[in-house]
Structure 1
């Protein structure tokens, strides 16, 4: 029988004792103080050295966590994963210590933060629950930990993010003492409650269920054919981008027909439940099961797994890597998060299918690369509207005179307290009400920034006589389902929500969307627009009412409606590209605002440098050229136009030291050549890559085609997408099987002759390809690394662009 203990003092003794035998440790505390970290540091170091998996999540709530405490953990424990929860004003009070062992698991939850007083003599209570290995309690706790650990507002602690937090810590603790900030914040929460993370509702009915024989819809037929083509082209990975409402989950279910065992991975329980039902509707005789905190099915035909549970090392290690023939990852734009990558790196399926509704990366990481560059099909919601698969829309961009420019930006969002101070105004609520009355139809979803704003507007609308309700992630599920049904049936006019309808749920009869929050990303904006585009009886179109102020990203959001949009709003040009039946209307004040913002940002050099500084904070180091392209959230092709080379941009950004500045001056002509040389195929950069494999002391020495042949051939045939793009013609197909003579002949004819005949500093004579410059020993490491970065960037962007052209 499990013995639950009440720990009233010296919790540190239990933490040390349990650490000695742990195989995994997950700690989450609101605050971390230097005194507490020093107490547990010796045992943490010993445990980490034995290979224990250690994850620690600490909060920045009220800026009580000491930067020095984080610095000790960062420097003394390089093997652990340390993240900081950016509360943005939301209360963050957890104190939980989880230990997984070989014989028993342990959960400790109570009131003790990571400080000396809390861990020793302070008045703190904690419950210690030892659990058998097969008990669900630990897995439930671990899954909840993972949800918070990889939540969008958490960031990795590194030198850059630590420096930023230290600055914020100093500012806040000079401005206001802890007690004053605490009292004011607690008062707000008593009145309005706290914000919550994203949540979704479960579809109670699927349109397929009433059919006797399930057959794919037109969009799914196109996607299934595209996936078959991918398999015939020897791809083992593919991404399907399909607008909300086109049936991505059913697409996966139909595609699964040709596989024996399937793993479906998602980050929400509701999505997994809905996916299981869809698969059962298509395959009624197949067995299904869940792999999550409460259920551990491992032998079903179709397994639906929670990413928070499956990504834990203990659970992953229980599977053979080739257990599943097909792995489906839902909401694939999340897949570059560490929790997903751990799963994708472990399993070796015959085929990996990513499905998503948004073509935009939520975190700007390399989702494209995860599927080997193979976007099998992409159906934007505008394309679906043209095909009459989705409803048309009428967009109204309404001017909002709220000044967001003075609000504190916390990396991914505005400070919640400061944002509330400008949003919770009666005058603003009245303007929102008037615009809604003027443009609305019958059923509305309103997207808000916080629970406080949703409750505030809900009260204002109710006072005006409208039937409204405020929903959030803390609302009981039955109340959410009831509200959805009332809105669908016309017994409710509007639902105010906070990120509740972004993913995994639809209310087809919604015909009005109201945006009263700053747009933080194109991905979220696209998802939310999709909530109103389902076709339904009696619905002609969807009205989109969007309040626009001088907030971040306001000048780029219309890229959702026109992919060629570059920041200067021209309503008629945008409208001309929209499907028939759609309208695009924006206030003249909005046009003036955006023009002012684009001029202020000096879109060009300053914008590129700004994104470089932001990315450096995220990564904790200077971004490589490819990292900048994948994660900066700005068009990296602007670098060549504005600076000539990436390293000229780093110079302008003030990031190069004296030696690097001298190298840039001495070798700038070479860097410009490598950056700008024309490429109708990848061959020049593949040749350069082969030369780079010789190392920093020899890469620039002369080379013959025969010496590069094996490396050249391997690179272009190692990945199916490279082979399909650059070895797909008659000449390329002859090269599929390695023949040193044929490959060397191709290298001589193409990259060597072409490049040697067009560049000043490169020659090709007597079958020898060489650079007409030397690299002195003291400069070799820098020149080598910068050349490697340019080569890596150019190869990636070349195949990325070619793959998109092929899939379009």
Structure 2
């Protein structure tokens, strides 16, 4: 067969032949029909049985994909990974089948055939099949692009929960649009809008350190972070996380730390970050060898490998490395990637040390980081504290009133409907107000963040018509390459760059002194990243001006808390609307903005509904009810709020109608006990450690009476088996550790602290008399298993959260 073949009929024969000899099978189609799954089901079953990897990605565009098709393909085997691209109305049209036969060979089929019987058998379809040897670069690029879409933030895993949710949307859409069922419209011709993360032309690497940063040696926060990492190594940790604001040199920190290791793997999700990191490491260790491992480069026989997560997550590439190939693994900005993908890579390798670096953990509080790094956040410094220490430049924040009524624009779950948003953005009167505000407050070099490519182009053209040296820079083709645009704004040839998310990460322009926000803030994480673009120190820059158009959009009032220098509790206690910013920083709001923020605070979506949304999002992500600890680690709401609103996690589940009839009965019967386990004070971890001991005795005995002597061995072992528990909670008042086991001493501590105190504060639910500690309530047999499970979930959550908080 030729290396490139045109297939115009019976594509299924080619597919089955390729499936039968593949080690990896990747299918990417805009829709999936049950009939199409039927055609290849047998071949897929045989492939799974012989150990092949199968990934399928499809979309919800126009709701053509059938819910029953999703059920059928997931039912073939739990080993098949299926994901659904949430198009939010945007066109989604890929039709590609990728096969890997061995280490070096495979094939790619791209054309017009979706996964339906008609398209694969007798339909009029054109497809090209290319053997990998025809162009290994094209083939590797296709694999890389598939994984980027498969792991895109707009894709969700297909499981029982997400299928039910999709089926509701599917039925609703077809009830409202009966004429569109299975009919493709002209809107299908709009090209697929997935943001590109790289371009071959215009890619630039901007050094993290300019002359003002001095020689290539640790400075400021890097010194503190390196000392913290040295401490955790001495304490026996093999994993740690450093959270550092943009502009403090996270990549250089990793490079300095890597000097202590022979072989290093640096993992990131963007090509620019890999190239920048490679250059930074070369500055620090010029005697070492360095290589990029991504879709087009496979430089792996070097001292330091800089790998794309999208390439490395591919089993064929992962298994090219020995599990102990690297002494140190550095993971950069991993909060953007699918957890399973990173976990697969991290589970495979066995390094001496794992270092995670980021500026913005998902919820600004390090929770995701904490879960991945075994509870060890070695160092945290956010941009407000860095400004206070004069390691980043101060800001002058100008809040300009945006009279757009965002409540009339459809919210699509994570963002506003683009067409409706554009209708109010692409107006001359709006552009004129933006121009006037910019002229009034700007300094010399401005980066403007827009919500879409059309808005960026519109504003750039408007500014140019008014005599301003402006341009738009985005992934769909720009007037200048990124490298030229950066050079021109640094040299003063450009005054404004209008962009769409291209500068969130990876590329920095330290001389920027003005940021212009002409988009509604949808993600607090992205807002933090974008603010960080203007805060780098630079000779002659005294502060960064931030001009922000504030309307009644979601997060308009929430984002201001990111600028506040007070602790969260102090801020909430004060009740003040306007944040208290660091010294040398200025806030200046239009009067209408103040009135708007007050109104938004009064009308904010009830917290209960926010918590419900966060719960169901995670429920759909993992395909089952999350445990309390999973909700804390991976949910997108503060877990403490579940207790604050509902007095217990189970109380929330009852309110959200997530409990079965049996579970409702158990909850109502033992609600006071569940609330007690949730609410009891924890100046130390001791109460929950004793409860953990009770639960360790098993389902039949967890409520049995106990003595302090009974609990002593477990109590001592639990608090000494982990270094951070030992350090935090197992020392006397003089700081002397109680590490050596002394039964009498430990039993006395247990008797004095958790047993006596908890029995006294439990409102009669627990008693401690004559050395016997026991619950005072009875549990019927049919309720025991459920109550034990819930108690264990709360206990595990509270212990985890306690040590998480104390370790910081």
TM-score (norm 1): 0.92
Q: Residue 736 in 1 paired to residue 739 in 2?
A: yes
1:690 pairs, out of 693, 705, 710, with 693
Distance in 2, matches of 1:20 and 1:668, equals 56
- 3-state SS of paired residue (1:500): coil
Q: Residue in 1 aligned with 2:141?
A: 140
Distance in 2, matches of 1:732 and 1:125, equals 75
Instruction: Tell me the CA shift for residue 709 of structure 1.
Output: 4.2
2:682 pairs, out of 674, 679, 683, with 679
Per-residue displacement from partner, 1:401-437 (whole Å, max 9, x unpaired)? 2232243333322333333333333333333223222
Q: Residue in 1 aligned with 2:718?
A: 715
Aligned pairs for 1:167-182 (under 5 A) are: 167-176=168-177, 177-178=179-180
Change (3 A) 1:188 1:260: closer
Distance in 2, matches of 1:487 and 1:211, equals 20
Instruction: Tell me the CA shift for residue 531 of structure 1.
Output: 0.8
Question: Do 1:90 and 1:416's aligned partners in 2 also have CA atoms closer than 8 Å?
Answer: no
- 3-state SS of paired residue (1:79): coil
1:409 pairs, out of 396, 406, 411, with 411
Aligned pairs for 1:435-446 (under 5 A) are: 435-446=437-448
Q: Residue in 2 aligned with 1:113?
A: 114
Instruction: Say how many residue pairs are matched.
Output: 801
Relative to structure 2, which stretch is displaced further, 433-442 or 52-61? 433-442
1:307 pairs, out of 306, 309, 316, with 309
Question: Do 2:456 and 2:472's aligned partners in 1 also have CA atoms closer than 8 Å?
Answer: yes
- 3-state SS of paired residue (1:329): strand
Change (3 A) 1:345 1:3: same
2:789 pairs, out of 770, 785, 796, with 785
Change (3 A) 1:403 1:68: farther
Change (3 A) 1:410 1:616: farther
Q: Residue in 2 aligned with 1:8?
A: 8
Relative to structure 2, which stretch is displaced further, 793-802 or 402-411? 402-411
Per-residue displacement from partner, 1:739-781 (whole Å, max 9, x unpaired)? 6665555444433333234321222344443222232121122
Per-residue displacement from partner, 1:571-605 (whole Å, max 9, x unpaired)? 99677732222111223333333333333336444
Distance in 1, matches of 2:365 and 2:160, equals 20
Question: Do 1:394 and 1:541's aligned partners in 2 also have CA atoms closer than 8 Å?
Answer: yes
Q: Residue in 2 aligned with 1:355?
A: 357
- 3-state SS of paired residue (2:23): strand
- 3-state SS of paired residue (1:258): coil
Distance in 1, matches of 2:575 and 2:445, equals 28
Instruction: Tell me the CA shift for residue 791 of structure 1.
Output: 0.8
Distance in 2, matches of 1:285 and 1:231, equals 25
Question: Do 1:198 and 1:502's aligned partners in 2 also have CA atoms closer than 8 Å?
Answer: no
Distance in 2, matches of 1:442 and 1:182, equals 49
Distance in 1, matches of 2:521 and 2:484, equals 28
Change (3 A) 1:720 1:571: closer
Distance in 2, matches of 1:209 and 1:561, equals 28
Aligned pairs for 1:30-429 (under 5 A) are: 30-102=30-102, 104-131=105-132, 135=136, 137-176=138-177, 177-178=179-180, 185=187, 194=193, 196-198=195-197, 201-205=203-207, 207=209, 214-334=216-336, 337-361=339-363, 366-429=368-431
Instruction: Tell me the CA shift for residue 179 of structure 1.
Output: 9.8
- 3-state SS of paired residue (2:256): helix
Relative to structure 2, which stretch is displaced further, 740-749 or 465-474? 740-749
Q: Residue in 1 aligned with 2:468?
A: 466
Change (3 A) 1:604 1:308: closer
1:577 pairs, out of 573, 580, 593, with 580
Distance in 2, matches of 1:485 and 1:259, equals 36
Gaps of 5+ in 1: none
Instruction: Tell me the CA shift for residue 783 of structure 1.
Output: 0.6
Per-residue displacement from partner, 1:277-304 (whole Å, max 9, x unpaired)? 1111111111112222233333322111
Change (3 A) 1:30 1:180: closer
Change (3 A) 1:664 1:186: closer
Instruction: Tell me the CA shift for residue 336 of structure 1.
Output: 6.2
Question: Do 2:64 and 2:181's aligned partners in 1 also have CA atoms closer than 8 Å?
Answer: no
Distance in 2, matches of 1:542 and 1:707, equals 62
Q: Residue in 2 aligned with 1:624?
A: 627
Instruction: Tell me the CA shift for residue 178 of structure 1.
Output: 4.4
Relative to structure 2, which stretch is displaced further, 249-258 or 159-168? 159-168
Distance in 2, matches of 1:571 and 1:54, equals 55
Change (3 A) 1:330 1:73: same
Distance in 2, matches of 1:151 and 1:113, equals 20
Q: Residue 662 in 1 paired to residue 665 in 2?
A: yes
Distance in 1, matches of 2:406 and 2:626, equals 29
1:774 pairs, out of 755, 778, 788, with 778
Instruction: Tell me the CA shift for residue 657 of structure 1.
Output: 2.9
Per-residue displacement from partner, 1:314-346 (whole Å, max 9, x unpaired)? 222333322212111111433662221111222
Relative to structure 2, which stretch is displaced further, 710-719 or 637-646? 710-719
Relative to structure 2, which stretch is displaced further, 147-156 or 570-579? 570-579
Distance in 1, matches of 2:733 and 2:674, equals 33
Per-residue displacement from partner, 1:212-252 (whole Å, max 9, x unpaired)? 96322222112211211221222222211111111111111
Instruction: Tell me the CA shift for residue 720 of structure 1.
Output: 2.8
Q: Residue 26 in 1 paired to residue 29 in 2?
A: no
TM-score (norm 2): 0.92
- 3-state SS of paired residue (1:57): strand
Q: Residue 795 in 1 paired to residue 806 in 2?
A: no
Distance in 2, matches of 1:67 and 1:261, equals 47
Relative to structure 2, which stretch is displaced further, 653-662 or 514-523? 653-662
